[in-house]
Structures are given as C-alpha cells and as structure tokens.
Amino acid sequence: MATTADIKNGLCLKHNEKLFQIIEFQHVKPGKGPAFVRTKMRQIESGKVLDHTFSAGHKIEPVRIENREYQYLYQDSDLYVFMNNETFEQVNIPIKMVEKPAFLQEGMTVNILFHAEEETPLVVELPMYIISEVTYTEPGIKGDTATNSYKPATIATGAEVRVPLFIDNGEVIKIDTRTGIYVERVKN
C-alpha cells in the first residue's frame, strides 16, 4: 500500500473500485489545518476527468499498467483487431475502449494500456497526429487564406473535420487526434 506522498503524474490507482490515472496533482499545506493533496484524475474505462482531494497520508492502492505498441489490422463487427509487432499476437478490443475511433487507419501503430497483473487491455490511445487525405469538401476559393473561417471536410477514415477554406479534395492534411482539429497541409 502506498500513501499520498507517492502520488505523481501518470500514476495509475484504484479508487472506489475503478481505475484512475493521475493527470496532475498539487500538495497543499494551508496555514491552518492539515495538509492535503488535490488531484485531477482520468477514469481509464470512460475517460471522464474527476477532481478529488486526498488528506495527507491517506492510503492509496497503486496499479501497475504497461504501455504496449500494437498495429491496427481491421474491424470485425463491434471489435477492432490489433497485432503486437514483436510477438504477432492478436488482440480483439471493443469499440468503446478506443479513443476517437473515427481517426483509426489500417496499419496505424497505437499504444494499448494493459493492466499488468491481469493482462487485460484497458484503453487504446491513438498517436497525437494523423495524416490523411481529404475525400470530400466544398470547393475552395482562390486567395481565401488569411481568414479564420473553416468548412467541413471528410477524410479517408470517414471522420469529419473542420478545415480552412483553401483546402480542396485530394489534399493531404495533418490532424490532431485529441481535438479533431486541422493542423496543417502536408506537402507531397
């Protein structure tokens, strides 16, 4: 058993029978009263962020997790199939465990968090950026580059993103998978 003194960013712990990962924490020692640790935790299964305060010295139950690289192969009804590039072992993961499944591309390398003791997958994390081709968008207007206006566009994975007015069909763009926002045009 660990205490609040062992809390650090990225630590995974069991709290109220659910798994949480510490996003950020702050040790507070007020002038009056006992010290406490204020945390911001992300529930691993649902992705919800929770603010929680632990009193100093409170016992916590850390959980060991492992981050492993897998390659996305294909979708089989409501499951995604991933393969470990070293052992060639395949794992089936339900759609709800994949963050932003609309940006998943065949052959993409992803990180899968595993509960180390139970060897069960917890969540699939996509790379921070993907590069994809715009398959459909309204025609661009020549010279419309300085404005901050955006239009909807569909990319090769089927996801819809907002792109600047000057982007046309067939162009390759870079997208931030955390927010789904256009980053830049990619030169061929």
| pLDDT tens readout for residues 50-99 | 999 999 889 999 999 888 999 999 998 889 999 998 899 999 998 888 87
* Residue where one domain finishes, among candidates 23, 42, 62: 62
pLDDT of residue 44: 84
pLDDT at 143 over 80: no
Residue 84: φ, ψ to 5°? -75, 125
Give the CATH number of the domain where residue 45 resides: 2.30.30.30
**Judgement on whether residues 57 and 69 belong to the same structural domain of the protein:** no
Q: What is the pLDDT of residues 164-177, one digit of tens each?
A: 888 888 999 999 98
What is the rounded distance in angstroms from the CA atom of residue 58 to the CA atom of residue 45? 24
**Judgement on whether residues 13 and 30 belong to the same structural domain of the protein:** yes
Q: How far is CA 72 from CA 46, 106, 109, in A?
A: 21, 6, 6
**Judgement on whether residues 87 and 107 belong to the same structural domain of the protein:** yes
What is the rounded distance in angstroms from the CA atom of residue 21 to the CA atom of residue 4? 14
Mean pLDDT taken over the chain: 88
* Residue where one domain finishes, among candidates 14, 39, 62: 62
- 9's CB contacts (< 8 A; 6+ apart) are 22, 23, 24, 25
Task: Tell me whether residue 39 is exposed, middle or buried, using C-beta atoms within 10 angstroms of its C-beta: 0 to 12, 13 to 18, 19 or more.
Answer: buried
**Judgement on whether residues 175 and 140 belong to the same structural domain of the protein:** yes
* Residue where one domain finishes, among candidates 88, 110, 125: 125
**Judgement on whether residues 54 and 71 belong to the same structural domain of the protein:** no
Q: How many helices (H) and strands (E) does the chain have?
A: 0, 16
**Judgement on whether residues 145 and 110 belong to the same structural domain of the protein:** no
Q: What is the pLDDT of residues 114-142, one digit of tens each?
A: 888 888 888 888 999 999 999 999 886 66
**Judgement on whether residues 82 and 93 belong to the same structural domain of the protein:** yes
Q: How many domains does the chain have?
A: 3
**Judgement on whether residues 120 and 158 belong to the same structural domain of the protein:** no
**Judgement on whether residues 93 and 57 belong to the same structural domain of the protein:** no
Q: Which domain holds residue 99?
A: 65-125
Give the CATH number of the domain where residue 114 resides: 2.40.50.140
Tokens found for residue 34:
């006992």
pTM equals 0.75
